[in-house]
Amino acid sequence: MRPTLNHRAMPLMILIWCTLTPLCLASSFNVTTTSSDLKRRQCVFDAASSSWNCDFLLPTFEQLITRFQDVSDGGGATPDNIAWFYTNFDGGNPDYNFDQLFAWIKAWFEAKGLGSYYIYDGVNPAWRKYQETFIADHANEIAEHNEDDYPGWDTPYATFWWCFFESAASAARAPDAIIFTPNVPWRSDKTGL
């Protein structure tokens, strides 16, 4: 008859083995007293100094989604807020008034009694502005520090914005999203997402 091992006894056996075997002792490992700084991968506000601390790594997709969903820090992605986007407006025209467009869209949501968020008001606006400015001002350093992760990528600024739009959509908790577009045939020479 072959002996069988009770699976409940296994943790006890491992504990006994570890106490008798130097492999389980900390002294047998290469324990050091040095530490490595963890990478922030985004701008983080330091309340003690009232300043933003940034590094040269782009925020991850998950970090951006968390920003949109963090209601305590200005995130707008809630079950009651509809994500909205626009496309095919005349963004290439310097006379086009996007502030007026955004005001009209916000008024439309308010008139319908619907909550909403867009990329500009879906996260803490101070964080978004500082992160955006830091990436624009340090494009070369950011490109150097991210080249292994993003071979053949667009500029750091463009990459941030593409990911920012995607994360705004992915962060949505409401079942609907709305895309505003003019009632005209599609034209590929118009800009805007």
Domain assignment present for 29: no
Q: Which amino acid is at 119?
A: I
Domain assignment present for 5: no
> Alpha-carbon distance 64 to 123, whole Å?
9
Domain assignment present for 188: no
> Alpha-carbon distance 139 to 158, whole Å?
10
Domain assignment present for 38: no
Whether 127 shows a pLDDT value over 80: the answer reads yes
Can you tell me the mean pLDDT for 64-91?
Answer: 92
Position 191 confidence tier, pLDDT thresholds 50, 70, 90? low
Whether 22 shows a pLDDT value over 60: the answer reads no
Range of lowest pLDDT (62-76, 78-92, 106-120, 168-182): 78-92
> Alpha-carbon distance 79 to 173, whole Å?
5
> Alpha-carbon distance 126 to 132, whole Å?
10
What are the two backbone dihedrals, phi and then psi, of residue 186, each rounded to the nearest 5 degrees? -65, 135
Can you tell me the mean pLDDT for 101-122?
Answer: 94
> Up-side HSE of residue 53: CA atoms within 13 Å toward CB?
9
Domain count, the chain: 1
Position 124 confidence tier, pLDDT thresholds 50, 70, 90? very high
> Alpha-carbon distance 85 to 118, whole Å?
7
Which runs of consecutive H residues, i.e. helices, occur in the chain? 10-20, 61-69, 98-112, 125-137, 139-146, 156-170
68 within 8 A of 117, measured Cβ to Cβ: yes
Q: 180 pairs with which residues across the strands?
A: 86
Position 107 confidence tier, pLDDT thresholds 50, 70, 90? very high
Query: Which helix (H) or strand (E) element contains residue 179?
Result: strand 177-180
Domain assignment present for 1: no
Give the closest residue to 67 by CA, choosing from 100, 36, 43. Answer: 43
Q: What is the pLDDT of residue 53?
A: 93
Domain assignment present for 18: no
Domain assignment present for 134: yes
State the average pLDDT for the chain: 80
> Alpha-carbon distance 190 to 28, whole Å?
65
> Alpha-carbon distance 39 to 57, whole Å?
8
Range of lowest pLDDT (59-73, 119-133, 135-149, 161-175): 135-149
What is the percent of the chain where pLDDT is above 70? Answer: 72
Can you tell me the mean pLDDT for 128-132?
Answer: 94
pTM > 0.75: yes or no: no
Q: What is the pLDDT of residue 10?
A: 46
Domain of 119? 44-180
Domain assignment present for 36: no
